[in-house]
Structure 1
Amino acid sequence: MSMKPLEFDRRYGELDIVVSAFVGQEPDGPDADTPPPALQAYLRHTWHTRPRALSVAEQQLREYARNPPGRLRLRLGEFYPVPDVGLPESRTQSWLFEVADHIKRSIESGDVPPPGPPRTHWEWHARFPELGQLLGGWFSQDMPDEFSDHDAAVRDYKASTDPQVTARLVGEIHELLALDLEEHDYTMGVAELGMEVEPPAPLSVARWLESVADHLAVARPDYGKEG
Structure 2
Amino acid sequence: MPLSPLEHDRRYGELDQVIRAYVGQLADDTPDEPSEALTAYLRHTWHTRPWALAVAERQLREYAEHPPGRLRLKLGEFYVIPDIGLPEEDVQRWLHTLADHIRSSVEEGRVPPPAPPSTHWEWHARFPELGQFLGGWFSQDMPDEFADHHQAVADYRSATDPQVVAHLVGEVHELLALDLDESGYASAVAELGMEVDAPAPYTPGAWLSHVADLLAQPLAEYGPPRAEQE
TM-score range, shorter chain: over 0.9
Distance 1:74 1:213 in 2: 46
Structure 1 position 219, deviation (Å): 2.2
Indicate yes or no: 2:22 matched with 1:22: yes
Cα deviations across residues 181-224 of structure 1 (Å, max 9, x unaligned)? 01111101110100000000110001000010011111235xxx
Indicate yes or no: 2:164 matched with 1:159: no
Distance 2:219 2:54 in 1: 42
Aligned counterpart, 1:126: 125
Q: Are the counterparts in 2 of residues 23 and 83 from structure 1 also a CA contact under 8 Å?
A: no
Residue identity opposite 1:13 in structure 2: G
Distance 2:18 2:187 in 1: 23
Residue identity opposite 2:28 in structure 1: D
Aligned counterpart, 1:117: 116
Write out aligned runs for 1:6-45 (5 A). Answer: 6-29=6-29, 31-45=30-44
Write out aligned runs for 1:82-97 (5 A). Answer: 82-97=81-96
Aligned counterpart, 1:225: none
Q: SS where residue 86 of structure 1 aligns?
A: coil
Q: SS where residue 201 of structure 2 aligns?
A: coil
TM-score, normalised with respect to structure 1: 0.95
| Runs of 5+ unmatched residues, structure 2 | 221-230
Distance 1:150 1:71 in 2: 51
* Residue identity (%): 68
Distance 1:179 1:89 in 2: 39
Cα deviations across residues 103-162 of structure 1 (Å, max 9, x unaligned)? 001001101111110000000000000000000000000000000000000000000000
Distance 1:220 1:55 in 2: 43
Q: Are the counterparts in 2 of residues 23 and 84 from structure 1 also a CA contact under 8 Å?
A: no
Structure 1 position 89, deviation (Å): 1.1
Dislocated runs of 4+, deviation >2 Å:
none
Indicate yes or no: 2:8 matched with 1:2: no
Distance 2:27 2:87 in 1: 11
Residue identity opposite 2:187 in structure 1: M
Residue identity opposite 1:126 in structure 2: A
Cα deviations across residues 155-181 of structure 1 (Å, max 9, x unaligned)? 000000000110000000000000000
Distance 2:143 2:120 in 1: 25
Aligned counterpart, 1:74: 73
Distance 1:71 1:167 in 2: 47
Q: SS where residue 111 of structure 1 aligns?
A: coil
Q: CA RMSD in A?
A: 0.8
Write out aligned runs for 1:188-199 (5 A). Answer: 188-199=187-198
Residue identity opposite 1:22 in structure 2: Y
Q: SS where residue 129 of structure 2 aligns?
A: helix
Aligned counterpart, 2:61: 62
Structure 1 position 23, deviation (Å): 1.6
Distance 1:72 1:173 in 2: 47
Aligned counterpart, 1:224: none
Aligned counterpart, 1:106: 105
How many aligned residue pairs are there? 220
Structure 1 position 32, deviation (Å): 2.8
Q: SS where residue 219 of structure 2 aligns?
A: coil
Distance 2:211 2:159 in 1: 15
